[in-house]
Structure 1
């Protein structure tokens, strides 16, 4: 296999990123319009945070979360089950908007980014961490 001289091999290629973003936008539109006729799926507002594609563009993993719901809640599990139940139909609807030779198989995972962001905010608001941050700034002033 030839080595790509434009890629360092660390992370996704530009093509993977472009295709992932195109699938993310298309999947969001399909879910927003309610093109899949399933009451379980249509009653939940779904956020598609990111789509990562495999290097050969055969598999696309969509990171999804229920809008306003919690990831550990019943809504998230119902949403994942409904999305997985309609993988084929969603793939077909997404393929209509893509101009790729092959449409990637869709996989769905819960997007935990927002929960991690809340945890990070909580950690930074802790008074011990605030004290350490302030102490770090005082140390920098002493160096000058």
Structure 2
């Protein structure tokens, strides 16, 4: 599953880098494929996409769904699988989650708890 997912991620990244879509919502949009997760039967691929500059990806999901037949045919050329999986797009939330955790780690309460204690504090 990982090998197929990575193959799809690389192929899809190359197709999305060209940004030559006929869909007006995707013209000139630069997307990054953060991760691809495959179903156990390899018939479905969930693709996590993000945009540079922390721009929301949610408005682009309907457009990606519209162009998924084109994307399937583009990534299917040269794949060594029996069939090309259906593509399902989701926004990548990893950066938002990392930012939230970083903010939490820098709150005064957490900084105080993480500060090294000296021997004088124990007496």
* Length-normalised TM-score, structure 2: 0.88
| Cα distance change, pair 81–69 in 1 and its aligned pair in 2 (3 A) | farther
Structure 1 runs, 4 residues or longer, greater than 6 Å off: none
Does the Cα contact within 8 Å between 2:34 and 2:92 map onto a contact in 1?
yes
The one-character-per-residue Cα deviations of 1:82-134 (angstroms, maximum 9, x if unpaired) are: 10111111111110131211111100001100000000111111111010111
- Confirm or deny that 1:127 pairs with 2:112: no
Match of 1:112 among 88, 93, 104: 93
Structure 2 distance, partners of 1:124, 1:97, is: 46
More helix by share: 1
Match of 1:92 among 73, 85, 92: 73
Equivalent residue, structure 2, for 1:138: 117
Structure 2 distance, partners of 1:82, 1:66, is: 14
CA RMSD in angstroms comes to 1.7
Structure 2 distance, partners of 1:42, 1:98, is: 26
Aligned length: 119
Any unmatched runs of 5+ in structure 1?
1-15
* Length-normalised TM-score, structure 1: 0.76
